[in-house]
Chain A
Amino acid sequence: MQLFPCPFCGPRDETEFHYGGDAGNARPDGAEVPIESWTNYLYLRSNPKGTAREIWVHMSCGEFFVMERDTVTHKVLSSTALGGEHAA
């Protein structure tokens, strides 16, 4: 069992967290969005080997945050509260 760090609560059991997708995958906006942008937003995932930036939510307290973790070693590098802003 792995512990993940919630920016507010601190370490918690991984089962308390829910994955929310790649960080920075912003929904396209506007009437003239090219189809490639929608395809990219909906279907293409970066799936990096190594450091990944991801959105997670701590379901126990409702905190949304960006977690940086290594997809090879599973080591967590950082967790940062979103504070209402969309992750860049």
Chain B
Amino acid sequence: MRDLAEKWSVPPDWRNATIEVPGLKIGAVAGLHQRLVSGDLAAWAEASGFDGPAVGAFGLAEGMRYSVRLARDLLLAVSTTPFGMATGWFSEGFAVTEISAGLQVFEVEGPALDAFIARGTTLDPAGPPSASATLSFAGIGAIVYRRQRSLRIHVDRGLAAYLWTWMETVAANIATGSRN
């Protein structure tokens, strides 16, 4: 039988994968705890203590734990420490699903960040605030917001290797002054 696996490049070891060119530094963020919350988000905020506003596209996420809005009735809770809370359905009216292993997180920083964003989306990152952080980036569905001075991108783990090769190409183009 043909080995189709050889058609795909081997994904990098995310623990030490970095892309570094003048003006841009890209790396993977490991060890984040991530959970999807759907349903009554106000009830979730009260029960969990995740009480800050859920950030939208290009919004600024702050603190050790924060939430990112994905839809009218859906958010992603992110924490550097374990949640200390069960998953499943809660009678208050929301459901919590573990998704830490399902989403790969990347962080992009540097003075060429705007040039990087311009290649990923037609949206203006300095435009009016958007309620949700889900958008098409580099042609795939992604969760995009700011963290300190970086841009944070969450994508389905199966698409992480693709996004990485896209980012390598874009970083090289930016470094050589190409408009692509």
A, B assembled together: yes
Please give, as numbers and ranges, the residues of chain B lying within 8 Å of A10 by CB-CB distance.
128-131
Complex CA distance for A32 and B75, rounded to whole angstroms: 45
Complex CA distance for A63 and B134, rounded to whole angstroms: 12
Complex CA distance for A15 and B123, rounded to whole angstroms: 12
Please give, as numbers and ranges, the residues of chain A lying within 8 Å of B128 by CB-CB distance.
10
> Is B130 a contact of A9 with CB atoms below 8 Å?
yes
The number of residues on chain B lying at the interface, defined by a beta carbon within 8 Å of a beta carbon of chain A, is 19
B57 interface contact, C-beta 8 A: yes
> Is B123 a contact of A60 with CB atoms below 8 Å?
no
> Is A61 a contact of B123 with CB atoms below 8 Å?
no
Complex CA distance for A82 and B134, rounded to whole angstroms: 20
Please give, as numbers and ranges, the residues of chain A lying within 8 Å of B121 by CB-CB distance.
13
Complex CA distance for A61 and B74, rounded to whole angstroms: 8
Contact with B along A1-30 (1 / 0, CB 8 A): 101000011111101100000000000000
B149 interface contact, C-beta 8 A: no
CB interface residues, B 120-170, toward A, < 8 Å:
121-123, 127-132, 134-136, 141
Please give, as numbers and ranges, the residues of chain B lying within 8 Å of A62 by CB-CB distance.
71, 74
B119 interface contact, C-beta 8 A: no
Please give, as numbers and ranges, the residues of chain B lying within 8 Å of A16 by CB-CB distance.
135-136
Please give, as numbers and ranges, the residues of chain B lying within 8 Å of A11 by CB-CB distance.
123, 127, 130
> Is A12 a contact of B71 with CB atoms below 8 Å?
no
> Is B123 a contact of A12 with CB atoms below 8 Å?
yes
Contact with B along A60-78 (1 / 0, CB 8 A): 1111000000000000000
Q: Tell me the nearest residue of chain B to A2, going by C-beta.
A: B122
Complex CA distance for A9 and B135, rounded to whole angstroms: 9
Complex CA distance for A8 and B73, rounded to whole angstroms: 11
Complex CA distance for A82 and B155, rounded to whole angstroms: 28
Complex A-B: 8 CB contacts under 8 Å: A8-B71, A10-B128, A10-B129, A10-B130, A12-B123, A12-B136, A60-B134, A61-B132
User: Which residues of B are interface residues toward A (Cβ below 8 A)?
Assistant: 56-57, 70-72, 74, 121-123, 127-132, 134-136, 141
